[in-house]
Structure 1
Amino acid sequence: MQKICSLDLMAIMFSLGCLPLLFLPHLLSDLYWCLLAFILFLIVLIVPVNFRWYLSVFVAFSLGFLWSTAYSKQYLSNISPYIDKTLVVHAKVVNINTHQAAMVNGPYYMPFSIFSISDVTLAKDVPISVYWDRLDHPKSGEIWQLTLKTKVVHGYLNDGGFDSQRFSIANRSLLSAKLVDAKLLNNKSDLRQYITDLALPYIDLFSYKGILLALAFGDRSQLDDELRMVMMQTGIAHLMAISGMHILVVYGLSCFLAKAILFFIPKRFIYFFVPIIIGWLCAFFYAWLTGFNPPTLRAMVALSIWIYFRYKKYKISSWQKINRIIALLLLFDPLMILSESFWLSCYAVITLIFLYDWAPLSKAVRHKKRWYIIRILHLQCGLTLLLLPIQFFVFQGVSGVSILTNLIAIPVISLVTFPTILLALIFSIFDCFSIALWFWLIADKSLEWLFLSLNWLNQLWINIPSDFYLLGLLGWLTVVIIRTGVWQRFSITLLVILMILVTPFFKQQHYRWRLDMLDVGHGLAIVIHDGKSAILYDTGAKWEKSSATERVIIPFLQWHNLNVQGIIISHQHNDHVGGLKLIQLIYPEAWLMSSSSDFNNDYQCLAGNSVIWNDLTFNVLWPHQLVSDAQNKDSCVVQVTDGRFSVLLTGDLERNQEYQLVTKYRNQLTSTILQIPHHGSSTSSSYTFLNHVKPVKSLASTSRYNPWKLPSNKVMAKYKDLQLDNYVTARTGQISLFFDKQTWKLKTMRGEIKPRWYHDWFGSLPNYE
Structure 2
Amino acid sequence: MPTFILGFAAGAYWLQTQAALPAHAGTTLAVACLVCLLAGYVLRHQHALLRLLSGCAGGVILGFFWAAWLAQLALAPQLALADEGRDITVTGTIASLPYHFEQGVRFNFAVEKAVGAQVSPLIALSWYKGFRDEVTNEVGDVQPGERWQLTVRLQRPHGNANPMGFDYEVWLLEQGVRATGYVRPQPRADTPNVRLDGFVVSFGNVVEACRAALRARIERSLVSKPYAGVIVALVVGDQRAIPQSDWQVFNRTGVSHLISISGLHITMIAGLVALAAGALWRRSFFTGWQLPLLLPAQKVAALAGAVAALLYVLLAGFGVPAQRTLYMLMVVAIALWTGRITSVFHVLCLALGVVVLLDPWAVLWPGFWLSFGAVATILYASVGRISAPVAPDASRWQRLRAELALGAHTQYVVTVGLVPLTMLLFSQVSLVSPIANALAIPVVSLVVAPLSLSASLLPAPLSDWLLLLAHFIVQLLVQLLEWLSIGPFAVWTAPAPPWWSFAWALFGTLWLLAPRGWPHRWLGMLSWLPLMTALPASPAPGQLWVTAFDVGQGMALLVETHGHRLLYDTGPAYGVDSDGASRVIVPYLRARGIAKLDGLIISHSDADHAGGAVSLLENIPVGWLASSLAGGHPAVVAQHKLGKPYLHCAAGQSWQWEGVRFEMLHPLAASHDDMSLKPNARSCTVKITAGKHAILLAGDIEAAQEAQLRARLGSDLAADVLLAPHHGSGTSSTPAFLNAVHPSLAIFQVGHRNRYKHPKAQIYARYGELGITRLRTDEAGALTLEFGETVTVTGYRASHPRYWYGR
Does TM, scored on the shorter chain, surpass 0.5? yes
Residue 529 (structure 1) shift:
0.9
After superposition, give the CA deviation of every residue in 1:122-160 in whole Å (9 maximum; x if it has no partner). Answer: 9x8424344354443222221111211123453333334
Alignment partner of 1:269 out of 270, 294, 311? 294
Cα distance between partner residues in 1 of 2:40 and 2:346: 29
- Give the secondary structure class of the aligned counterpart of 1:147: strand
State the partner residue of 1:626: 670
Q: Does 1:16 align with 2:13?
A: no
After superposition, give the CA deviation of every residue in 1:100-132 in whole Å (9 maximum; x if it has no partner). Answer: xxx7x441212222222239999x842434435
Residue 738 (structure 1) shift:
1.3
State the partner residue of 2:134: none
Residue 420 (structure 1) shift:
1.9
Cα distance between partner residues in 1 of 2:215 and 2:537: 56
The residue type equivalent to 1:223 in the other structure is I
State the partner residue of 1:745: 792
Q: Which moved more, 1:53-62 or 1:548-557?
A: 53-62
Q: Does 1:73 align with 2:72?
A: yes
- Give the secondary structure class of the aligned counterpart of 1:702: coil
Cα distance between partner residues in 1 of 2:562 and 2:388: 48
Q: Does 1:86 align with 2:87?
A: yes
Structure 1 residues 195 and 42: CA distance shift in structure 2, 3 A: closer
State the partner residue of 1:725: 773
Question: Given that residues 782 and 796 in structure 2 are in contact (C-alpha distance below 8 angstroms), is that contact kept between their aligned partners in structure 1?
Answer: yes
Q: Does 1:465 align with 2:494?
A: yes
Q: Which moved more, 1:266-275 or 1:321-330?
A: 266-275
State the partner residue of 2:220: 204
Cα distance between partner residues in 1 of 2:531 and 2:517: 18
- Give the secondary structure class of the aligned counterpart of 1:277: helix
Question: Given that residues 572 and 631 in structure 1 are in contact (C-alpha distance below 8 angstroms), is that contact kept between their aligned partners in structure 2?
Answer: yes
Alignment partner of 2:236 out of 208, 217, 222? 217
Higher RCO, 1 vs 2 (CA within 8 Å, ≥6 residues apart):
1
State the partner residue of 2:602: 569
Residue 602 (structure 1) shift:
6.3
Cα distance between partner residues in 2 of 1:120 and 1:539: 38
Structure 1 residues 554 and 196: CA distance shift in structure 2, 3 A: closer
TM-score under structure 2 normalisation? 0.82
The residue type equivalent to 2:69 in the other structure is A
Q: Which moved more, 1:63-72 or 1:440-449?
A: 440-449
Cα distance between partner residues in 2 of 1:146 and 1:382: 53
Q: Which moved more, 1:499-508 or 1:63-72?
A: 499-508
After superposition, give the CA deviation of every residue in 1:640-673 in whole Å (9 maximum; x if it has no partner). Answer: 1123111111111212332343344443333211
- Give the secondary structure class of the aligned counterpart of 1:504: coil
The residue type equivalent to 2:343 in the other structure is S
Cα distance between partner residues in 1 of 2:797 and 2:760: 22
Q: Does 1:551 align with 2:583?
A: yes
State the partner residue of 1:712: 760
- Give the secondary structure class of the aligned counterpart of 2:20: coil
Cα distance between partner residues in 2 of 1:730 and 1:241: 33
Q: Does 1:241 align with 2:257?
A: no
Structure 1 residues 723 and 294: CA distance shift in structure 2, 3 A: same
Cα distance between partner residues in 2 of 1:631 and 1:663: 21
State the partner residue of 1:126: 122
Q: Does 1:188 align with 2:185?
A: no
State the partner residue of 1:257: 276
Question: Given that residues 687 and 694 in structure 2 are in contact (C-alpha distance below 8 angstroms), is that contact kept between their aligned partners in structure 1?
Answer: yes
Structure 1 residues 642 and 412: CA distance shift in structure 2, 3 A: same
The residue type equivalent to 2:327 in the other structure is V
Alignment partner of 1:399 out of 425, 430, 435? 430
After superposition, give the CA deviation of every residue in 1:591-646 in whole Å (9 maximum; x if it has no partner). Answer: 34445685798666444443222211123333344323562233332221123111
Number of residues of Structure 1 aligned to a counterpart in Structure 2: 742
Structure 1 residues 360 and 750: CA distance shift in structure 2, 3 A: farther
Q: Which moved more, 1:591-600 or 1:707-716?
A: 591-600
1:492-511 matches, cutoff 5 A? 501=531, 504-505=534-535, 509=539
Residue 298 (structure 1) shift:
4.3
Residue 514 (structure 1) shift:
0.8
Cα distance between partner residues in 1 of 2:377 and 2:513: 17
Question: Given that residues 160 and 396 in structure 1 are in contact (C-alpha distance below 8 angstroms), is that contact kept between their aligned partners in structure 2?
Answer: no
Alignment partner of 1:109 out of 106, 109, 119? 106
The residue type equivalent to 2:165 in the other structure is G
State the partner residue of 1:27: 21
State the partner residue of 1:591: 624
State the partner residue of 1:284: 310
Residue 733 (structure 1) shift:
1.9
Q: Which moved more, 1:387-396 or 1:126-135?
A: 126-135
After superposition, give the CA deviation of every residue in 1:220-262 in whole Å (9 maximum; x if it has no partner). Answer: 2322333322222222221122232232223212211211221
After superposition, give the CA deviation of every residue in 1:316-347 in whole Å (9 maximum; x if it has no partner). Answer: 43222212321222122212222332222212
After superposition, give the CA deviation of every residue in 1:146-198 in whole Å (9 maximum; x if it has no partner). Answer: 21112345333333433333333334445322012521111136655367547
Question: Given that residues 328 and 350 in structure 2 are in contact (C-alpha distance below 8 angstroms), is that contact kept between their aligned partners in structure 1?
Answer: no
State the partner residue of 2:545: 514
Cα distance between partner residues in 2 of 1:149 and 1:447: 41
State the partner residue of 1:4: none
Cα distance between partner residues in 1 of 2:424 and 2:521: 30
State the partner residue of 1:767: none
1:289-308 matches, cutoff 5 A? 289-308=315-334
State the partner residue of 2:479: 452
Q: Does 1:231 align with 2:250?
A: yes
Cα distance between partner residues in 2 of 1:502 and 1:433: 52
State the partner residue of 2:153: 149
Question: Given that residues 386 and 476 in structure 1 are in contact (C-alpha distance below 8 angstroms), is that contact kept between their aligned partners in structure 2?
Answer: no
Question: Given that residues 112 and 130 in structure 1 are in contact (C-alpha distance below 8 angstroms), is that contact kept between their aligned partners in structure 2?
Answer: no
State the partner residue of 1:421: 452
Question: Given that residues 728 and 748 in structure 2 are in contact (C-alpha distance below 8 angstroms), is that contact kept between their aligned partners in structure 1?
Answer: yes
Question: Given that residues 328 and 347 in structure 2 are in contact (C-alpha distance below 8 angstroms), is that contact kept between their aligned partners in structure 1?
Answer: no
Cα distance between partner residues in 1 of 2:462 and 2:581: 46
- Give the secondary structure class of the aligned counterpart of 2:670: coil
Structure 1 residues 334 and 588: CA distance shift in structure 2, 3 A: closer
1:656-667 matches, cutoff 5 A? 656-667=704-715
Question: Given that residues 79 and 126 in structure 1 are in contact (C-alpha distance below 8 angstroms), is that contact kept between their aligned partners in structure 2?
Answer: no
Structure 1 residues 627 and 468: CA distance shift in structure 2, 3 A: same
Question: RMSD over aligned Cα, in angstroms?
Answer: 3.8
State the partner residue of 1:3: none
Cα distance between partner residues in 1 of 2:532 and 2:123: 46
1:599-614 matches, cutoff 5 A? 605-614=649-658
The residue type equivalent to 1:63 in the other structure is L
Structure 1 residues 148 and 135: CA distance shift in structure 2, 3 A: closer
Structure 1 residues 723 and 27: CA distance shift in structure 2, 3 A: farther
State the partner residue of 1:766: none
The residue type equivalent to 1:91 in the other structure is G
Alignment partner of 2:592 out of 560, 565, 575? 560
Cα distance between partner residues in 1 of 2:40 and 2:406: 53
Structure 1 residues 616 and 688: CA distance shift in structure 2, 3 A: same
Structure 1 residues 697 and 196: CA distance shift in structure 2, 3 A: closer
* Identical-residue share of aligned pairs (%): 25
Cα distance between partner residues in 1 of 2:481 and 2:267: 25
For structure 1, which runs of at least 5 residues remain unmatched after alignment? 1-6, 763-769
After superposition, give the CA deviation of every residue in 1:485-542 in whole Å (9 maximum; x if it has no partner). Answer: 9997999x99997786578359775683211112222221111112542122222234
Question: Given that residues 381 and 513 in structure 2 are in contact (C-alpha distance below 8 angstroms), is that contact kept between their aligned partners in structure 1?
Answer: no
Residue 699 (structure 1) shift:
0.7
- Give the secondary structure class of the aligned counterpart of 2:194: strand
- Give the secondary structure class of the aligned counterpart of 1:78: coil
Q: Which moved more, 1:274-283 or 1:61-70?
A: 274-283
- Give the secondary structure class of the aligned counterpart of 2:671: coil
Question: Given that residues 673 and 696 in structure 1 are in contact (C-alpha distance below 8 angstroms), is that contact kept between their aligned partners in structure 2?
Answer: yes
